[in-house]
C-alpha cells in the first residue's frame, strides 16, 4: 500500500541547501525501544479469557469454555507482541542513486524484516516527502505534475505490510525528480498493530539518506557561430606561467619578483638568476552566476511572482551546468562563482577552475544546492574575483538582469587582463546585451528553446 497524502508529518524529509553524507550500509541500523503506554488492553483480554474459560467449565458449557480459551490465547499473544514492541522489526531505506538529473526517475528501496517468531498483522511506515519529488504510480499515472515551478511543500508517503515470522520484504517506490535541489531524508515513523486493528507499538527511527538532483543539460551548439572560446581572440595579457612546470633559470632582469630568485644557482654562478617556468597549457574559465532575477523590486507580492523568479533561476542553472559540461569537453579548466547561500558558512559559492575529471559534475552539485536568495550584491561578487582567480582567466557572466549597474566593474576586469563575456537571458536580453556592447564589453543574448522543463538546446537571440 502506497498512500501519498498532504500532511504535516512527524517524519522529516526536506529540501536542504546542503545534503549530508549518507552513512555506509554496514549491517542493521540501531533499533530504538520505547516505553509501553498504560492501558494497552493486554490484561483485559487475558483476564477475560480465563474468566470465560472458568465459567464455561463450571457450567459444563463447552462453547463458552472454547471462546474463553480463544480470548485467552489472543490476550497472551497480544501480551507478547506488546512486550516485544518493534524490537524485532528491522527497517532500512536507501536510494539506488544518490545523484540524478532533474526529470530522471529514481527508486527508493524500502526493506522490512521481521526477526520474531510471531507474525505482525499490519506494519505501517510513514515519512514526509517533498512535493518536488513526484510519486510515479505502478499503472503509469503519476500525481499532479504542474508545468510551473512548485513552491516547496510536504506530502506523506505511507507503506503498509503484513509480515509472517522471519519474513523479509523489499519494496521499490518510484519517484520522479521534478525540481533541482538537495533533499535530505531523516526520520521515519513506524507503527504496528494486531488483528483487531489496534496499535501495539509505534516509534520514530533515524534513517538518514540524501538525494542530489542536478540541473538539466541542454545543447550549446548555437554559441559556436561567433564564439572565441577556442582561442581565436588575441590575448590581452602575456603568458601565465605554471609554477609546477620548472624550465630552468635565466639572468635576473629589472622588474623580476624577488621570490623567483634561485638562491643556490645565484651563489654557484656568482650572479643573480631567477627561476623560469613553462606557460600553463590549460584554459581557465569561471562561470559567474547572477542568481538574483529582480532588478530593483525586492518585494514578493504574489505566488505568481515567486514562481516566475524560481523558473528564471532554474533556467540560469541549466545554462550554467551546460556550459560547464561544454568547457570540460573542450579540455578547459572550469569553475563557478555565485553569491548565494548553499548550506555552508561561506557567503560565496566558489569552485576554483580545475581540469580534473568530473569537474562539471561537481559544479552541477553546487548548482543543485544554490538557494534563491543572494548573499551579496552581484557587483561585490564580480569585483572580488580578482582575489580568487589569476589574470588571464575567462569570466563568463550569466544574468537575467540589466547589466548596466556593474558594467564599470566589468570594464576594469577587462583592462586588468581578464577575458570577460556576458550572456544575458530573459525578456529584454537583446537590449541588455546591446547596452553592454556599447561600453566595450563582449555580450550576447541567449535563451532556451522551450520551458526549462522541456528545453533541449540553447538559442542565440542577439
pLDDT the model gives residue 322: 95
pLDDT, mean of residues 284-295: 87
Distance CA 194, CA 258 (A): 82
Which of these CATH numbers, 1.20.1630, 3.90.228, 3.50.50, 3.40.50, describes 221-235+281-460?
Answer: 3.40.50
Helix or strand holding residue 370 (H, E):
none
Digit-coded pLDDT (tens) for 309-360: 888 999 999 999 999 999 998 888 899 999 988 777 788 899 999 888 889 9
pLDDT, mean of residues 10-18: 46
Question: For residues 422 and 157, which has the higher predicted lDDT (pLDDT)?
Answer: 422
What does pLDDT average to over the chain?
Answer: 78
Q: Please, which contacts does 434-437 make with residues 24 or more away whose CB atoms are closer than 8 Å?
A: 434/462, 435/402, 435/403, 435/404, 435/407, 436/403, 436/404, 436/407, 436/410
Which of these CATH numbers, 3.40.50.2300, 3.40.47.10, 3.20.20.80, 2.60.40.10, describes 2-34+85-214?
Answer: 2.60.40.10
Burial (CB count within 10 angstroms: exposed 0-12, middle 13-18, buried 19+), residue 456? exposed
Write down the residue that cell numbers 579540455 correspond to.
331
Digit-coded pLDDT (tens) for 171-225: 998 888 888 989 888 889 988 877 767 777 788 988 888 899 999 999 988 787 5
pLDDT, mean of residues 76-81: 61
Helix or strand holding residue 287 (H, E):
strand 284-289
Q: Pick the closest to residue 150 from 111, 116, 180, 191 (CA basis).
A: 180
Lowest mean pLDDT among 7-21, 51-65, 345-359: 7-21
Q: Residue 80's pLDDT band (boundaries 50, 70, 90)?
A: low
> Which alpha helices (DSSP H) does 346-453 contain, by range?
359-369, 378-384, 407-415, 429-438
Sign of dihedral through CA atoms 186, 452, 435, 395?
positive
Lowest mean pLDDT among 147-161, 288-302, 371-385: 147-161
Domains of the chain, residue spans = 2-34+85-214, 42-84, 221-235+281-460, 241-279
pLDDT the model gives residue 281: 54
Amino acid at each position: 500500500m502506497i498512500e501519498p497524502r498532504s500532511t504535516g508529518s512527524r517524519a522529516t524529509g526536506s529540501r536542504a541547501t546542503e545534503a549530508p553524507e549518507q552513512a555506509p550500509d554496514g549491517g542493521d541500523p540501531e533499533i530504538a525501544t520505547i516505553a509501553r503506554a498504560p492501558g494497552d488492553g493486554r490484561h483485559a483480554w487475558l483476564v477475560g479469557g480465563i474468566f470465560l474459560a472458568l465459567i464455561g467449565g463450571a457450567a459444563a458449557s463447552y462453547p463458552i469454555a472454547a471462546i474463553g480459551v480463544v480470548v485467552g490465547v489472543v490476550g497472551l499473544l497480544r501480551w507478547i507482541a506488546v512486550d516485544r514492541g518493534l524490537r524485532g522489526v528491522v527497517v532500512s531505506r536507501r536510494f539506488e542513486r544518490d545523484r540524478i538529473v532533474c526529470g530522471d526517475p529514481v527508486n527508493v528501496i524500502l526493506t522490512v524484516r521481521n526477526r520474531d517468531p510471531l507474525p505482525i498483522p499490519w506494519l505501517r511506515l510513514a515519512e514526509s516527502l517533498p512535493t518536488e519529488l513526484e510519486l510515479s504510480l505502478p499503472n503509469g499515472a503519476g500525481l499532479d505534475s504542474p508545468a510551473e515551478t512548485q513552491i516547496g511543500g510536504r506530502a506523506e508517503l505511507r507503506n503498509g505490510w503484513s509480515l509472517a515470522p522471519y519474513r523479509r520484504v523489499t519494496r521499490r517506490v518510484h519517484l520522479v525528480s521534478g525540481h533541482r535541489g538537495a533533499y535530505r531524508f531523516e526520520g521515519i515513523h513506524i507503527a504496528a498493530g494486531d488483528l483487531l486493528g489496534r496499535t501495539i507499538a509505534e516509534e520514530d527511527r533515524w534513517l538518514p539518506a540524501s538525494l542530489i538532483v542536478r540541473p538539466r543539460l541542454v545543447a550549446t551548439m548555437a554559441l559556436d557561430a561567433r564564439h572565441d572560446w577556442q582561442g581565436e581572440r588575441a590575448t590581452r595579457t602575456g603568458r601565465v606561467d605554471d609554477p609546477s612546470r620548472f624550465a630552468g633559470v635565466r639572468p635576473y632582469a629589472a622588474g623580476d619578483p624577488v621570490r623567483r630568485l634561485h638562491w643556490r644557482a645565484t651563489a654557484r654562478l656568482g650572479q643573480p638568476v631567477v627561476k623560469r617556468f613553462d606557460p600553463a597549457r590549460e584554459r581557465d574559465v569561471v562561470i559567474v552566476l547572477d542568481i538574483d532575477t529582480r532588478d530593483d523590486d525586492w518585494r514578493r507580492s504574489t505566488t505568481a511572482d515567486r514562481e516566475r523568479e524560481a523558473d528564471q533561476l532554474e533556467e540560469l542553472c541549466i545554462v550554467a551546468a551546460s556550459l560547464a559540461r561544454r568547457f570540460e569537453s573542450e579540455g578547459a579548466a572550469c569553475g563557478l562563482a555565485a553569491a548565494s547561500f548553499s548550506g555552508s558558512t561561506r557567503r560565496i559559492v566558489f569552485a576554483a577552475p580545475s581540469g580534473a575529471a568530473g569537474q562539471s559534475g561537481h559544479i552541477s552539485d553546487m548548482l543543485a544546492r544554490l538557494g534563491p536568495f543572494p548573499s551579496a550584491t552581484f557587483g561585490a561578487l564580480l569585483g572580488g574575483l580578482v582575489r580568487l582567480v589569476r589574470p588571464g582567466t575567462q569570466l563568463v557572466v550569466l544574468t537575467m538582469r540589466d547589466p548596466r549597474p556593474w558594467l564599470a566593474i566589468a570594464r576594469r576586469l577587462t583592462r586588468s587582463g581578464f577575458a570577460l563575456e556576458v550572456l544575458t537571458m530573459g525578456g529584454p536580453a537583446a537590449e541588455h546585451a546591446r547596452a553592454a556592447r556599447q561600453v566595450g564589453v563582449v555580450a550576447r543574448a541567449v535563451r532556451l528553446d522551450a520551458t526549462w522543463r522541456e528545453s533541449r538546446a540553447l538559442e542565440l537571440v542577439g
